[in-house]
Amino acid sequence: MADQTSSVPFDEAPVTTRYWLSIILFAVTGVVDFFDFFVVGFLVSVLAPKWHLTFGQTSIMLMSAGIGAMLGALAAGFLADRFGRKPLAVAGVMICGLSSGAIAFIPEDGWGLFAILRFFVGFGLAAGAAAAVPAIVEFAPTRHRTLITSLVVVPVAFGVLSASVTASFLLPLVGWRGLAAVGFLPIILGLLTLFIMPESPRWLISKGRVREAQASIRKLYRVGNETIALPSLPAASPGKFADLLVEQRRFWLTILIWFGASTANYGVFLWGPTIVALLLGVAPQNAAKMFIYVSLAGVLGRTGFAFLAHRVGRKPCGELMGYGTAVSLALAAYFHNDFVGSVPLFLVFLVAGALFFDGGFSNLAPYPAEIFPVQLSGRAVGLAQFSNGVGKIVGPLCLALIAGADNFVHPSATAAAVTPAFFFLAGAGLLIGLAFTFLGVEPHGRPVSLFGANAGNAGSKPLTAKTAA
Whole-number pLDDT of residue 207: 87
Say what the pTM is: 0.85
First CA to last CA distance, the chain: 12
* DSSP letters spanning 237-286: PPP-GGGGGGGHHHHHHHHHHHHHHHHHHHHHHHHHHHHHHHHHT--HHH
Per the DSSP assignment, residues forming a β-bridge with 339 are 344
Amino acid code (one letter) for 89? A
| Dist CA 386 CA 45 (whole Å) | 27
CA angle, 210 then 216 then 220, to 5°: 140
Q: For residues 328 and 394, give the distance between their C-alpha atoms in angstroms, rounded to a whole number.
A: 21
**CA-to-CA distance for 229 and 208, rounded, in angstroms?**
13
Q: What is the pLDDT of residue 458?
A: 38
Query: For residue 304, which phi and psi values (nearest 5 degrees)?
Result: -60, -45
CB neighbour list of residue 423: distance below 8 Å, 6 or more residues apart: 329, 330, 333
Are the C-beta atoms of 73 and 389 separated by less than 8 Å? yes
Q: Alpha carbon of 229 to those of 226, 320, 373, 417: distances in Å? A: 9, 41, 21, 62
Q: What whole-number distance in Å separates Cα of residue 144 and Cα of residue 70?
A: 31
User: What backbone torsions phi and psi does residue 372 show, to the nearest 5 degrees?
Assistant: -100, 150
Dihedral angle computed from the Cα positions of residues 33, 35, 41 and 47, in that order, rounded to the nearest 10 degrees: -90
pLDDT in tens, 403-424: 665 544 444 545 677 788 889 9
Q: CA distances (Å), 111 to each of 59, 178, 467, in order?
A: 11, 17, 57
pLDDT of 415: 63
Spatial CA neighbour of 367 closest among 237, 255, 269? 255
How far is it, in rounded angstroms, from Cα 289 to Cα 347? 12
**To which H or E segment does residue 207 belong?**
none
Gap between the Cα atoms of 282 and 411, Å rounded? 19
The span from the CA of 449 to the CA of 3, in Å, is 8
Cα 200 from Cα 209, distance rounded (Å): 11
Residues of the chain with pLDDT under 70: 1-8, 37, 41, 55, 160-161, 164, 225-239, 270, 273-274, 279, 282-288, 396, 400, 403-415, 452-469
Helix axis angle, 292-312 to 314-334, nearest 10°: 150
What domains can be seen in the chain, in order of their start residue? Answer: 1-237 (1.20.1250.20), 239-469 (1.20.1250.20)
Q: In whole angstroms, how large is the CA radius of gyration of the chain?
A: 22
Asked if residues 112 and 228 have their Cβ atoms less than 8 Å apart, the reply is no
Fill in the DSSP letter of residue 464.
P
DSSP 54-75: -HHHHHHHHHHHHHHHHHHHHH
Per-residue model confidence as pLDDT tens digits over 292-349: 788 889 889 999 999 999 999 999 999 999 999 999 999 999 998 888 888 888 889 9
